[in-house]
A and B are shown apart, each in its own frame.
Chain A
Amino acid sequence: GESVGLHLPTLSVQEGDNSIINCAYSNSASDYFIWYKQESGKGPQFIIDIRSNMDKRQGQRVTVLLNKTVKHLSLQIAATQPGDSAVYFCAEMRTGTASKLTFGTGTRLQVTL
Chain B
Amino acid sequence: DGGITQSPKYLFRKEGQNVTLSCEQNLNHDAMYWYRQDPGQGLRLIYYSQIVNDFQKGDIAEGYSVSREKKESFPLTVTSAQKNPTAFYLCASSILADRPQHFGDGTRLSIL
Contacts and interface: CB of A to CB of B under 8 A. Distances in A.
The answer to whether A and B assemble together is yes
Interface of A: 1, 4-8, 32, 34, 36, 41-46, 49, 89, 93, 95-96, 98-101, 103-106
B48 A100 contact: yes
A100 B106 CA distance: 19
B45 A104 contact: no
Nearest to B60: A1
Nearest to A93: B98
Given A7-B40, A32-B98, A101-B101, A43 B59 contact: no
Interface string B53-80: 0001011100000000000000000000
Interface size class for chain B?
20 to 34
Contacts of B50: 99
Given A42-B105, A43-B92, A103-B35, 18 more contacts: A1-B44, A1-B59, A4-B40, A6-B40, A6-B41, A34-B101, A41-B105, A43-B4, A43-B103, A89-B42, A95-B97, A98-B56, A98-B97, A99-B97, A100-B48, A101-B101, A103-B44, A106-B42
Contacts of A99: 50, 97-98
A8 B98 contact: no
Contacts of B106: 41-43
What is the predominant secondary structure among interface residues of chain A facing chain B? loop
A44 B98 contact: no
20 contacts: A1-B44, A5-B40, A6-B40, A34-B100, A36-B103, A42-B105, A43-B6, A43-B106, A93-B98, A95-B97, A96-B98, A98-B97, A99-B50, A99-B97, A99-B98, A101-B45, A101-B101, A105-B41, A105-B42, A106-B42
